[in-house]
Amino acid sequence: MNAQTHRADALALEFVRFSVDAGVLRFGEFKTKAGRLSPYFFNAGGFDDGAKLGRLAEFYARRLIESGLGFDMLFGPAYKGIVLASAVAVELARLGRNVPFAYNRKEDKDHGEGGRLVGAPLAGRVVVIDDVISAGTSVRESVAWIRQAGATPAAVAIALDRQERAAEGGVDKAHSAVQYVMTELGMQVVAVATLADLLEYLSAAGAGTLAAHAGRVAAYRDRYGV
């Protein structure tokens, strides 16, 4: 569906509103890792207390359930993914879908249980939980862990799909990192919300402060979007 015919669902708009209210989704001028000047910035690290993290996990869990995706467990890539996968597992259990989860360390542990994987053994169809996909590097590393264990990387669940052409990580620059994950790694990507949802939210904001950002975000999408 293209940007002109896009219609955000209620869950996506609710999530965008929550992210703005929480100060996680901010507007201004921000330099991205790729060197682009973006008129908005999404920092999942801003979900930094119990109430906000619990609400974030609710959005992930509801989107996963709504997607109809078949999966057996969750995997959280270090570091942000560890917190996210843990919280989403708790929320899924609260909603009646109890699944195991695991995560990796950035370094080997040479005492105790040792190794770099923590949690349940990787098995079955695994969903990787992350905040965004910028270059696909974290996803590729997660896929390697999952396949090495003999499990199947089924999908990636993210909070926001920026729908932006990739600019790093060896990904084809004509595509977004999300599209790379879908086509090259053969994995479904489940996003709570997208850039198109953000634009719809801003466009519906009337004449207030938020609406003033709609034009700059739209121009950024026209320049870098996919």
Residues that are catalytic: 109, 111
Furthest-apart CA atoms within the chain: distance in Å: 59
Closest CA to 33 of 162, 164, 134, 175: 134
Residues 6+ positions from 124 with CB-CB distance below 8 Å: 71, 72, 73, 151, 152
Assess contact for 166 and 180: CB atoms under 8 A: yes
Cα-based angle 87, 59, 71 (whole degrees, multiple of 5): 70
Cα-based angle 102, 186, 163 (whole degrees, multiple of 5): 90
